[in-house]
Structure 1
Amino acid sequence: MNTLRLPRASLQQLRSFEAVARLGGIGKAAEALHLAQPTVSTQLKELAQALNLHLLEPEGRGVRLTPHGELLADTVRDLFARWRRFEEDALAMQGLQKGRLKLAAVTTTEYFIPDLLGPFARQYPGLRIDLAVENRDAVIQHLARGDVELAVMMLPPTDLALERWPFLENPLVLIAPVGHPLAQRTRLRLSQVIQEARLTREPGSGTRQATDQYLAAQGVSWPARLALGSNEAIKHAVAAGLGLAILSRHTLGPDPASQGLVELKVTGLPIRRMWHVVWRSDRSLSLPARTFLAALRQQFSETPPGREVPRHEPG
């Protein structure tokens, strides 16, 4: 007869270890947990002794995980994620009146994701919705750590076990300031526009990665003159005449000219990409996450994936 083997670690020890692994230092973990630093240090020492494993080693002013520490950190994150899902599902059995939906999305989605979340939030007013909007690299880190259950991005990583669902077209277009000489042409070749200065998003941006991939596939070298950390900053810089840029058409709104911008007609453009909802295939989704995913599928099942997102115009 099989018997349940209880862990040799306490919940408090695992909680302290998870905070140290996430924050990279005992002092930071103690502050985050509202504990004294010696208390956290003692819990880590007792945890290592109970497991008979070396879990941490000094690195600069902080600590880093040993290979055994990395293994335990993954296990603890999975354990805590499963416990959160249990709590949320238990509450959700009351009719999704409570619970939490944890999402991350790349920065360009800020132009449409509120319109995706709005109807869901109104349908389930008791749910807490946590949304992190950051660049692609940061979103991938959230997925890898298990901080979020669902993410919206253009280029899902290939080194994580992920399920993905493409739901919306994301055309990347070339923009110039209104009145630019190239804007008078009805059709341009790529070789003509790369004589202009190129403005681009920062390293880690999905838009920049997709653009660089496209240019490389065309055998074209178009170095960036200036890298900026947001779509709005790029639009203002283009409107000011600092250069041209390739951005998602979602960032332009219905009237680019009102922002001092025009979309150039270039052979081979726009770059055709899709927005994806992704989630970890090696972890089960909570009921709030499953319900939101089902709502998205229903919303986008009536028309092809390239449809426009319904936008709420100001009254």
Structure 2
Amino acid sequence: MSKGFSRIASQKLPNITLRQMQIFESVVRLGGYTLAARELNLTQPTVSMQMSKLCEILGLELLEQSGRRTHPTSIGREVYDNMREILDRLADLGGLADDLKGVVRGELKVSVITTAAYFMPHYMGKFIERHPLVQPRLTISNRNDALERLRSNQDDLLIMGKVPDSMPVKAHPFINNEVVVIARPDHPLNGKRGISLEQLVGERFLVREPGSGTRRAVDQLLAKHGLKLTPYMELGNAEAIKQGVLAGLGISVLSRRNLDLELGSNRIVILDVQGFPLVRRWYAVHFRGKRLSLVARTFLEYILNEMELEFS
């Protein structure tokens, strides 16, 4: 018998069920019993009862209430990190069994930032057509929330435009992301050629929140020319930006891939501005050294090898 098995056999292990670990992970991640119950198809009293049992088994206070949100205590955070590792290992074990059989099935968890939400669901749908046994889990969030999901290893892949340099990640570039300046067709700058950046910053400008990759790219371009944008209005997502432009509130910048319908119907136009379009890349990101399941590897191969052709 190996030392590892001998150690396990000689220890008294806590009588914790897999379901209790799943419930605790969900409560901490979602910040509440009700949201966890909804995600797991349980009743709120069941979730509460199981958390009480878990605390009793371990003899520890794992959770505390702050306003409407439930947070882990300091020891609860340590327990959470350990339980996440156990659940991840169990998920890897299930994936390994499918890998050995060569079956592309199971959960595919992909998180995308909001600006990628306009094209990613369509291409995930095409992937599912090829592999109907795959269960897609697509989460759309802003950059900060997406990075937190990446940090806590909640997804197989994160689709984003600006790769974080503060985390040890591997980034796979797969398609271009053209950022363009947009306006309503009746805007005075429509039809003018070679609009200067000086003219641009003098216009009423609708911008994304400071953490947005698109806003960061525009700010960096302007800074190179000694210019700075004074936002007329700050909006939380690309759809709000489009609606603001359509309402005549001002001009803005967006990924061209978000504008197919509006450009096709001539409701929005692209302005000819010096330095634009900004050509960036979309990346599929995961932690360096992370073992991707067969499902995740197959999806990554799909977007690397085929989406480039479809978008070219």
Which range, TM-score by smaller chain? Answer: 0.7 to 0.9
Structure-2 change in CA distance of 1:47 and 1:27 (3 Å): farther
Q: How far apart in 2 are the matches of 1:267 and 1:73?
A: 50
Contact 1:102–1:130, Cα closer than 8 Å, also in 2: yes
Q: Separation in 1 of the partners of 2:219 and 2:180?
A: 13
Structure 2 distance, partners of 1:215, 1:48, is 57
What is the letter of the counterpart of residue 131 of structure 1? Answer: L
Q: Matched residues in 1 for 2:47 and 2:157: separation? A: 35
* Percent of pairs with identical residues: 35
Query: Structure 2 CA distance, aligned partners of 1:16 and 1:65?
Result: 13
Q: Distance in 2 between matches of 1:293 and 1:214?
A: 31
Cα distance in 1 between the residues matched to 2:27 and 2:138: 24
Asked if the contact 1:98–1:126 (Cα under 8 Å) also holds between the matched residues in 2, the reply is yes
Residue 188 of structure 1, aligned match among 176, 185, 195: 195
Query: In structure 2, what is the Cα distance between the partners aligned to 1:118 and 1:26?
Result: 31
Asked whether 1:122 is paired with 2:123, we answer no
Uncovered stretches (5+) of structure 1, i.e. residues with no partner: 311-315
Q: 2 CA distance for matches of 1:36 and 1:14?
A: 11
Give the corresponding residue for 1:40: 51
Report the equivalent of 1:309.
311
Corresponding position of 1:221: 228
Q: Which amino acid letter does the alignment assign opposite residue 309 of structure 1? A: F
1:155-304 superposed matches below 5 A: 155-253=162-260, 256=263, 258-299=265-306
SS in 1 for 2:56: helix
Q: What amino acid does structure 1 have at the position aligned with 2:17?
A: L
Give the match's secondary structure for 2:292: coil
CA RMSD of aligned residues (A): 2.9
Q: Structure 1 residues 162, 41: CA separation in 2 closer, same or farther (over 3 Å shift)?
A: same
The C-alpha deviation readout for 1:219-276, integer Å capped at 9, x for no partner, is: 3221222223332332232133210101111112287262422211121222221100
Aligned partners of 1:212, 1:239: CA distance in 2, in Å? 23
Contact 1:96 1:124 in 2 (8 A): no
What TM-score results when the alignment is normalised by the length of structure 1? 0.82
Displacement of 1:185: 1.7
Amino acid at match of 2:230: P
Once structures 1 and 2 are overlaid, which stretch shifts more, 55-64 or 124-133?
55-64
Secondary structure of the residue aligned to 1:72 is helix
Counterpart of 2:113 (choices 106, 119, 122) is: 106
Unaligned runs of 5+ in 2: none
Aligned twin of 2:140: 133
Distance 2:67 2:262 in 1: 52
Q: 1:22 aligns with which of 14, 18, 29?
A: 29
TM-score (norm 2): 0.83
